[in-house]
Amino acid sequence: MAQAPLPPWIKPLQERDPTFVASYMEQRERIMADGAIPAKYKHLMTMIVDCITSHPDGVMNIANRARASGASEAEINEAVEVAYLFGGTPALVTAINAFRKA
C-alpha cells in the first residue's frame, strides 16, 4: 500500500514527534483500507462525522478520498443527506463542502 500523504493538520506534530505521527499514519492506513467494510464506505462514514462536527475542509478532502476509493456522486449525495438527517442544518451547510473538488 502506498504511503498516504501527511495531512496538513498533523504537520506541526510531525516536527515534534515523528515516531508518534508515523504510528498514527500506519494505524490510519490500516483502518481505512478495504476490509469487511470497503474503504469507500469507511470514507463516507468519516465524511458524515466531519459534516456533523463542522469540519468543512475535512469534508472536502474525505469526499475526494471516497471518490478515489470508488464512491459515486450518488453515494456522496446520499451521505450528505444522512449527515443532514442526523446533524441538522449546520451539518448540511458543512456537508455541501463534499461537492468541492479542489
d(CA 19, CA 82): 36
Calculate mean pLDDT across residues 41-60: 96
Calculate mean pLDDT across residues 35-44: 98
pTM, to two decimals: 0.86
What is the band of 1 on the pLDDT scale with cuts at 50, 70, 90? very low
What is the band of 14 on the pLDDT scale with cuts at 50, 70, 90? very high
- All three cell numbers of 14, joined, read 510531525
Average pLDDT, the chain: 93
- Which pLDDT belongs to residue 2? 55
d(CA 8, CA 12): 8
d(CA 11, CA 9): 6
| pLDDT surpassing 70 at residue 59 | yes
